[in-house]
A and B are shown apart, each in its own frame.
Chain A
Amino acid sequence: MERELAEARQTFFTECAELLQEIENSLLRLEKTPEDQNTINSLFRAAHTIKGSSGIVGVESVERFTHVVESLLSRVRDGEVGINGGIIELLLECRDHISILVERAGAGENGGPPGEKEEALVARLNALLGCADKADGRKNGETEEAEATEQVHEGEAAERAAGTDLWHISIRFGANALRDGMDPVPFLVYLSRLGEIASIATLHDSMPQAAQMDPESCYLGFEIDFRSDFSKKEIEDVFEFVREDSVIHILPPRSKIGSYVELIGNLPEDSVLLGELLVRGGALTKDELDEALKLQSGFRAATDGLSAPGQSPYIGEIMVNERMVYPELVAAALEKQKKTKEHNASETVTIRIDAAKLDALVNLVGELVISSANVEQHARRLSDGSLVESASHMARLVDEIRDSTMKVRMVPIGDTFSRFNRVVRDIGRDCGKEIALEISGGDTELDKTVIEKINDPLMHLVRNAADHGIEGPEARAAAGKQAMGTIRLNAFHDAGCIVIEISDDGRGLNRTRILEKAHSLGLVANTQTLSDRELLGLIFEPGFSTAEAVTKLSGRGVGMDVVKRNIEALRGTVDVESAEGCGTTVRIRLPLTLAIIDGFMVGVNGSSYVIPLDMVVECVELSDADRQAADKRSYINLRGEVLPYIRLREYFNESGGGARFENVVIVQYAGHKTGLLVDELYGEVQTVVKSLGKMYKGVKGITGATIMGNGRVALILDVPRLIQSIELDMAV
């Protein structure tokens, strides 16, 4: 029991985080469209769920406070309290407070008296509730009469609408129900406990002739009119155990006649008999039924004549056209159906899985990939045709398993992006700026662990853009820009990487100030000339973060070194582009996943190296002429293009003389092509990345290692770093 409760608490905390996010998103949406009833409803639901579940798992502090919030929201929902900026501000503060309470509860602090802040918030909430009460009282007096007339209208409408307040349940039990121990009668008895069975008709027409009748099969069906306050779901749940084999239709009260007619059409029994049953039960009036059936068949006949049977109008439409049902009623019913459907869909499309289980699976798949490579190698060595075929078939399946396992870990980045709405909004308010956040590419997916780790650096960059990048309204007006600044978050896939861009249309980076600062810090010699990229890259240097003069003027530098470090820890890179006066774009490139990559294996002096396949552009043999020339200079001629290269033999200090032939693997990263000189090309391999551990953290040019099918170790090249090192060499 104790353990179950602990698990429930865990679920509660996870859910709370999601619900709080939902509240925040809804509030921000409401700020733009205060009248949006759907948003108000989802806001209320989220608060309601938090209150309910906190009560269940016994987190009283959250339950107590959320209750007050919920009361206000319910007034808002009923239109008694109007939405305005003040209320949204207050609710956002309340949301933050709930989040703090939940965190405290997570840390094991429960209860205790409400703090000062909470009391202040509750007082403000109560003030709003009190106002609403007063307004309510006044309104009631004035509008009593109006309501009375309204009721009369409603009564008439209800009378004219088809149906009564009875549910109609139509059920045909499966033939095996009795044999399976699912006797229908106890279900009916149970049903009668949820409400009142107004009428029931037992149908036995499907029972065959005495000779063929199997006494152990079930031939019964029931038409039930049922009065109950329970929801459709709850009524459905009564028949949960027989749902699979049985035919069950549940029509809610006041269903449109069309539904009944459709039901009649769907059931095996004689339609006239069934229609009469419905009439007898009071679900339909006789006239309505006749009319509906007549009209439907009439239309069929008419359209059949035109040899277009598919075009016969829906019975619902007929009803509306003939004014038997009001269009609103049909629309409402459809809306309701749609909602139930959506609800069901969202319930079934996701399941929660313990992240540890997933990691274990990914690890196993990694091992599987290795051993499948092993099997394939052995198969090739034995050169047994059928064995090779089986092995390659298996390898293909392992490939697919690997891909789908990786996909399980992929999460769209949109959720992370939308969290910044609040950040941008709050900063905008604090600094008196108008800032819009535009998000695109939110459905771009990447590894969950990467998403978690990218959150902080992104937060830093967005804050910087809002705080320092975007100018105040006056400055913008002076520069001839729109008063409202824009920050764009964009994500897209590019060559095995995901690219995330954070751009603003603010003042841009001031290169002169950056250079001055770099000189004063001694990062750059006075005589040194820097490329634009290098110059802007300086803002990622550790010393820059603390320099107040630069942050004020250039608008960058707060913790940028931390941002860069975090991104590099994910094997990613970060770039800046900036045009003074027009804005800045920070571009982050990250690998899609950290666990398994497709690699291209090469050999240098007998050792194996793996190059991430996504970065390989092509392979060419190094011609003799080039080879001789290459010894003297650090580039080769690739079809008339200058291609800088690295000789891996030298880079990794592999001993031994040069091989007779050398190959060039041309890799591309962030728009730069580079050649890697290697001895041998082995081809594609699947690579399970194993980290090298802290000991080798300082080793440049290698991101990790992998175990090959033959049990030997191959090193995985860090192409971005290799390219960087060439650029440095060339700069010197």
Chain B
Amino acid sequence: MKIATRKNKGSCKMRIEGEMNIYAAQELKVRLLDCLHNSLRLDLDLSKVSEIDTAGFQLLILAKREAGFLNKGFRILAHSEATSGMTGLLNMTGYFEEKDGAGNGSRLEKEREA
């Protein structure tokens, strides 16, 4: 797994490449939480994720939930076949598209529409 992060005006864009599985879970958890704590918004690009397992998927849920607690923004910018398959199978597509932390919601909505 390779993680590339780019910070821009308080938002953090994270691009994950390769296998999002249990072997990388420890590292991924730290990186995800780190981004959330040190920025206002986390945008995930999963388009290069070749494989995702339950451990990886749990971390997506954790990040989404944590963002809610911390009142920060969270969204998935792009899915790969693997990640969209997984979210679809587990019927979680709607969960990740729900509005996140208050305050950022409206702005995010606008951005998405734009």
Contact = CB atoms under 8 A, between A and B. Distances in A.
A179 B53 CA distance: 12
A654 to B, nearest CB: 82
Interface in A193-222: 199-202, 204, 207, 210, 213, 215-216, 218-220, 222
A695 interface: no
B91 A201 contact: yes
Interface residues of B, number: 23
Contact of B91 (A177, A184, A200, A220): A200
A152 interface: no
B38 interface: no
Contacts, number: 63
Nearest to B89: A188
Interface residues of A, number: 23
A612 B101 CA distance: 88
B35 to A, nearest CB: 12
A184 B54 contact: yes
Given A178-B55, A216-B22, A189 B61 contact: no
A215 B26 CA distance: 6
Interface string B24-67: 01101100010000000000000000000111011101100110
For chain B, what secondary structure do more than half of its interface residues adopt (helix, strand, loop), or is it mixed?
Answer: helix
A185 B53 contact: yes
Contacts of A213: 29, 62
B92 A216 contact: no
Interface in A214-233: 215-216, 218-220, 222
A431 B57 CA distance: 80
A185 B61 contact: no
A216 B61 contact: no
A216 B86 CA distance: 18
Nearest to A184: B54
B91 A215 contact: no
B90 A210 contact: no
Contacts of B55: 178, 183, 215-216, 218
Given A210-B33, A210-B66, A213-B29, A219 B58 contact: yes
Contacts of B66: 210
B62 A202 contact: no
A185 B29 contact: no
Which of A188, A204, A219 has the largest number of chain B CB atoms within 10 A?
A204
A200 B62 contact: no
Contacts of A189: 89
Interface string B83-112: 000100111100100000000000000000
Contact of A178 (B33, B54, B61, B86): B54
B61 A207 contact: yes
A192 B59 CA distance: 24
Contacts of B69: 210
B91 A207 contact: no
A178 B22 contact: yes
A185 B65 contact: no
B90 A215 contact: no
A574 to B, nearest CB: 71
A185 B54 contact: yes
Contacts of A188: 89-90
B90 A202 contact: yes
Interface in A674-711: none
Contacts of B86: 185
B56 to A, nearest CB: 9
Contact of B29 (A192, A200, A215): A215
A215 B54 contact: no
B53 A207 contact: no
Contacts of B89: 185, 188-189, 192, 200
B59 A202 contact: no
Contacts of B28: 215
A188 B66 CA distance: 27
Contact of A183 (B53, B59, B62, B91): B53
Nearest to A219: B58
Contacts of B61: 204, 207
A379 B26 CA distance: 62
B91 A202 contact: yes
A220 B90 CA distance: 11
Contacts of B54: 177-178, 183-185, 218, 220
A189 B53 CA distance: 12
A226 B70 CA distance: 37
Interface in B2-41: 22, 25-26, 28-29, 33
A276 to B, nearest CB: 14
Given A184-B54, A202-B92, A215 B33 contact: no
Given A178-B22, A179-B22, 4 more contacts: A183-B54, A185-B54, A185-B90, A199-B91
Counting from the closest, the 9 A-B pairs by CB-CB distance are: A215-B25, A215-B29, A202-B90, A200-B91, A210-B66, A183-B54, A204-B61, A178-B55, A183-B53
25 contacts: A178-B22, A184-B54, A185-B57, A185-B90, A189-B89, A199-B91, A200-B91, A201-B91, A202-B92, A202-B95, A204-B58, A204-B61, A210-B33, A210-B69, A213-B29, A213-B62, A215-B22, A215-B25, A215-B26, A215-B58, A216-B26, A218-B54, A218-B55, A218-B58, A220-B54
